[in-house]
């Protein structure tokens, strides 16, 4: 699937990456690892140099809700803003349920699984495509239609190893366009910085058979599916 299609039936929240996203990208100098307790044992987020995407997503929305422009200068690891982003990263994982959702989705197939009984195919398990298109996308669309950005957890890898949880990603969906059965989601990707041209494209025609999610995110993994994550505003630091 190639780039975003022409649009019809658009929806848009008031959030805009070039104005409301951080001016710096999700790129950090080495810092001590963050260890988060999960149902699978301690999860090392690893080195901050590997990224703090969920923290940047939540923090950017915190400034948006506070009606304040986000700080333009990348903070040092000891700065209050850096510590705030780290705290919001941990909040974005919604331990333990959020981590369990990422892990469950990592272990699901893209397409539905079925069994044939007396010549009739029965659905044994819905895959990531169906769960994304049929369950999650309508919730994301409704949230954007209400004027609110939607925080998304992106599942990128297929793996039974909890260590690979760190390869998943988080973004803010703030707009969409629909052309026939193709949907383009406009997203704020912390890895791409304050860029209004970042998107995820997918087709709603037959999610049970598996859907390809095209994207121009600054990640090296494919997007296998996404789900709406719970977000609540937090007070932003007064000193950065």
Domain spans, the chain: 8-112+122-228
- Digitized pLDDT (tens) for each residue of the chain, 240 residues in all: 555 544 444 677 799 999 999 999 998 877 654 666 666 666 555 455 567 999 999 999 999 999 999 999 999 888 999 989 989 998 999 988 898 999 999 999 999 986 655 566 556 789 999 999 999 999 999 999 999 999 999 999 999 998 898 899 999 999 999 999 999 999 999 999 999 999 999 999 999 999 999 999 999 999 999 999 999 999 999 865
* pTM beyond 0.85, yes or no: yes
What count of other Cβ atoms lies within 10 Å of the Cβ of residue 86?
A: 19
Residue 30 has phi, psi (to 5 degrees) of: -55, 135
H or E element at residue 103: helix 97-106
Residues 6+ apart with CB under 8 A from 162: 38, 40, 41, 43, 103
- Burial class from Cβ neighbours inside 10 Å (0-12, 13-18, 19+) for residue 69 reads exposed
CA nearest 63: which of 15, 26, 105?
15
Contact 212, 202 (CB under 8 A): yes
């Amino acid at each position: 699937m190639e780039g975003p299609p022409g649009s019809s039936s658009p929806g848009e929240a008031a959030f805009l990456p070039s104005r409301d996203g951080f001016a710096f990208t999700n790129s950090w100098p080495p810092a001590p690892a963050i260890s988060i307790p999960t149902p699978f044992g301690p999860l090392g987020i690893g080195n901050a140099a590997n990224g703090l995407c969920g923290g940047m997503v939540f923090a950017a929305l915190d400034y948006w809700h506070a009606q304040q422009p986000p700080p333009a200068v990348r903070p040092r690891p000891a700065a209050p803003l850096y510590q705030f982003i780290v705290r919001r990263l941990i909040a974005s994982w919604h331990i333990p349920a959020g981590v369990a959702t990422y892990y469950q989705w990592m272990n699901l197939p893209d397409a539905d699984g079925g069994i044939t009984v007396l010549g009739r195919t029965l659905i044994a398990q819905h895959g990531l495509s169906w769960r994304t298109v049929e369950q999650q996308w309508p919730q994301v669309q409704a949230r954007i239609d209400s004027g609110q950005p939607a925080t998304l957890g992106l599942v990128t890898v297929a793996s039974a190893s909890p260590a690979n949880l760190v390869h998943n990603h988080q973004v803010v969906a703030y707009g969409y366009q629909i052309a026939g059965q193709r949907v383009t989601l406009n997203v704020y990707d912390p890895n791409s910085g304050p860029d209004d041209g970042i998107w995820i494209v997918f087709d709603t025609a037959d999610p049970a058979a598996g859907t390809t999610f095209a994207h121009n995110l600054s990640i090296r993994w494919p997007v296998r599916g996404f789900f709406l994550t719970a977000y609540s505003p937090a007070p932003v630091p007064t000193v950065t």
